[in-house]
């Protein structure tokens, strides 16, 4: 069905993302409160939206009616309501049961259901309509991530005057995988509704350009993608972190004292290995635990002198695959502790909780080795946070070559997480490295992050979108 054009509102900058940057939570006294939502997308956009008084349209994280728009931390938040069926079909189903595994190399089997697809369409339309209502004439609208891939096309029909950008935070798959998707043409047309489509990694950009040509017959040149009478640009914009803020945390005396306290609480072992992930099957947690277990068993890591801290942030807990993963991980942790821990001394400290950013920074400071070994990851901000926190250049990052961050953090101990022997070698070498070797690797990575922080990412994307739209004026704005 064609969408009818609507007049619009007052915001010059609008972000659309599945989630608002704050979630409902319960404080220590059992009272409802608001807490920053987990994940890389919110980490990246929060500082930028605080600086520009734009609007953020997103789901408030629960089924049922949406609260009225409100201001939090200087950001104007416009909650979108989802019914229980829509949470099932659009969020848990099509977004996280179909697209998430498919775009992450199908490391878990994607499920395809027509009712999920219908709910995905309906919710994407609701987001597009909400943006069309509040956007000022010619506003810049930045749509984020795999939950909202139909929105750019829908929004262009509703408001041809808008400048529309889309950024995908996760990988974009190769043709063979993408083509399994029943909605494949519809999704490509949705994305091509944007003026600029951004990806984390050059391979994702190449995959998108190939698909535009192969699936839709678009004319793809160095200049852009010519489709349906319009030019669309597709390019790579690797996301980053707020380096200055991370560094401020790292130098905060309270955080440093807490890091020292964490080391003491862990029994002052020779080596602390840290892993911080949402408890997601893409993060390679099981392969990592297997590698660690074998290293202890072979005494390449001394069980009496080594501790692994695995922070597993709760995520998508209603979805079967996530519940099954949690059981497998918790079984593996118990097995390792059963075999190698002593009284008052654990081999794996497993924490299935959310932390605030200061506690996380203290953990980064306390860790000798940071193991970031996803099977596939769009970027992985945890890796960047660890590097930015190590202001004295010590510490050792073990990084999966299948994380987007590997294209930038080349000096890390890069590993293939599917290759358990290679993974073991990476962790063991990192644990053995002396301070000179740590600094030799850390210094260039830190310099890279200083030159490529999240502000550069955001201004790079928005600046490009601005320039493009001046080159290709919109008919309704002209
Ligand atoms: P993803 O987007 O897949 O979750 P990233 O590594 O890119 O993965 O981003 C994770 C973000 O979540 C990081 O900014 C990290 O600091 C934050 N985070 C990680 N662990 C926790 C935790 N226990 N509590 C709150 N936030 C966390
Ligand atoms: O890009 C990864 C991502 O899906 C983000 O959209 C989100 O911030 C994060 O992971 C957390 O996932 P969820 O919103 O499903 O809890």
**Residue 29: predicted pLDDT:** 74
Query: Distance between alpha carbon 285 and the CA centroid of its chain, in Å?
Result: 16
CB-ligand 1 contact for 303 (6 Å cutoff): no
Of residues 161, 195, 242, 377, which has the active-site annotation?
Answer: 377
Q: Identify the pLDDT of residue 21.
A: 87
Q: What is the pLDDT of residues 186-227, one digit of tens each?
A: 999 999 999 999 999 999 999 999 999 999 999 999 989 999
Q: Which residues contact 91 (CB under 8 A, 6 or more apart)?
A: 18, 59, 82, 147
Ligand lying closest to the C-alpha of residue 100: 2
CA-wise closest residue to 172 among 235, 241, 252: 235
The rounded distance, in Å, linking the Cα atoms of 130 and 77 is: 12
Of the listed ligands, the closest to the CA of 20 is 2
The string over 453-470, giving b where at least 16 C-beta atoms fall within 10 Å of a residue's C-beta and e elsewhere, is bbebbbeebbebbbebbe
**Are β-strands 230-236 and 135-144 bridged in parallel, bridged antiparallel, or unpaired?**
unpaired
Measured from the Cβ of residue 149, the count of other Cβ atoms closer than 10 Å reads 25
Q: Ligand 2 site: residues with CB under 6 angstroms?
A: 18-19, 38-42, 145, 169-170, 315-316, 378
Residue 312 — φ and ψ, nearest 5°? -120, 100
- CA–centroid distance, 281 to ligand 1, in Å, is 15
Question: Which of these, 255, 280, 455, lies nearest to 375 by C-alpha position?
Answer: 280
Token output for 420: 């358990």
CB-ligand 1 contact for 311 (6 Å cutoff):
yes
User: Which of 169, 201, 349, 452 is an active site residue?
Assistant: 169
C-alpha angle 268-255-32 in degrees, rounded to nearest 5: 110
Would you mind telling me the total number of residues written for the chain in this entry? 478
Cα–Cα distance for residue pair 141/16, rounded to 1 Å = 8
Rounded Cα–Cα distance for residues 164 and 407 (Å): 27
Distance 396 CA to ligand 2 centre (A): 26
**Ligand (nearest to CA of 322):** 2
Atom of ligand 1 nearest to the CA of 43: 14
Q: Which residues in the chain land under pLDDT 50?
A: 475-478
Ligand 2 atom 3, closest CA: 39
Q: Is-catalytic flag, 169?
A: yes
Residue in this structure with the two tokens 């299935």, named with its chain if needed: 352
pLDDT on residue 49: 80
Q: What is the DSSP letter of 405?
A: G
Ligand 2 atom nearest the C-alpha of 41 is 8
pLDDT digits (tens, 9 = 90+) for 114-126: 999 999 999 999 9
- Check: CB of residue 96 under 8 Å from CB of residue 110: no
377 given a catalytic annotation = yes
Regarding the beta carbon of 234 and ligand 1, being less than 6 Å apart is answered no
Q: Enter the DSSP assignment of 163.
A: E
Residue to mutate, 169, 239, 312, 354, ligand 2, most ligand atoms under 8 Å from C-beta:
169
What would the two tokens of residue 344 be? Answer: 């008052």
């Amino acid at each position: 069905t064609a969408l009818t054009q609507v007049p619009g509102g007052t915001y010059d900058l609008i972000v659309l993302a599945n989630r608002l940057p704050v979630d409902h939570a319960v404080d220590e006294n059992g009272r409802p409160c608001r807490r920053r939502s987990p994940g890389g997308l919110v980490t990246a956009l929060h500082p930028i939206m605080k600086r520009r008084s734009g609007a953020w349209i997103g789901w408030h994280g629960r089924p049922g009616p949406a609260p009225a728009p409100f201001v939090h931390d200087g950001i104007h938040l416009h909650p979108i309501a989802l019914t229980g069926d829509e949470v099932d079909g659009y969020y848990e189903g099509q977004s996280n049961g179909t697209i998430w595994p498919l775009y992450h190399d199908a490391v878990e089997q994607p499920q395809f259901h027509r009712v999920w697809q219908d709910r995905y369409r309906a919710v994407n339309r609701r987001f597009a309509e909400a943006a069309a209502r509040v956007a000022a004439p010619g506003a810049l609208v930045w749509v984020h991530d795999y939950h909202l891939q139909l929105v750019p096309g829908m929004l262009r029909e509703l408001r041809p005057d808008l400048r529309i950008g889309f950024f995908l935070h996760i990988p974009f798959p190769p043709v063979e995988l993408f083509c399994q998707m029943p909605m494949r043409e519809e999704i490509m047309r949705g994305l091509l509704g944007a003026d600029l489509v951004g990806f984390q990694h050059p391979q994702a950009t190449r995959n998108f350009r190939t698909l535009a040509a192969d699936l839709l017959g678009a004319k793809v040149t160095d200049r852009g993608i010519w489709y349906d009478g319009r030019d669309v640009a597709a390019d790579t914009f690797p996301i980053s972190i707020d380096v200055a803020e991370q560094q401020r945390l790292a130098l905060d005396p309270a955080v440093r004292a807490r890091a020292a306290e964490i080391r003491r609480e862990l029994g002052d072992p020779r080596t602390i290995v840290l892993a911080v992930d949402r408890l997601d099957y893409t993060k390679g947690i099981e392969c990592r635990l297997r590698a660690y277990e074998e290293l202890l068993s072979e005494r390449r890591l001394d069980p009496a002198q080594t501790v692994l801290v695995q922070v597993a942030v709760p995520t998508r807990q209603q979805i079967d695959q996530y519940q099954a993963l949690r059981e497998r991980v918790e079984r593996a942790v118990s097995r390792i502790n059963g075999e190698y821990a002593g009284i008052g001394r654990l081999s794996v400290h497993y924490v299935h909780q959310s932390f605030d950013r200061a506690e996380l920074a203290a953990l980064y400071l306390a860790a000798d080795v940071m193991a970031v070994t996803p099977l596939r990851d769009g970027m992985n901000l945890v890796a960047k946070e660890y590097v930015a926190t190590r202001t004295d250049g010590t510490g050792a990052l073990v990084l999966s070559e299948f994380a987007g961050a590997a294209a930038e953090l080349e000096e890390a101990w890069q590993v293939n997480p599917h290759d358990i022997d290679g993974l073991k070698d990476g962790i063991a070498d990192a644990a053995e490295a002396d301070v000179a070797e740590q600094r030799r690797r850390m210094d260039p990575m830190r310099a890279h992050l200083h030159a490529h922080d999240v502000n550069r990412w955001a201004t790079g994307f928005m600046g490009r979108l601005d320039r493009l739209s001046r080159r290709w004026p919109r008919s309704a704005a002209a």
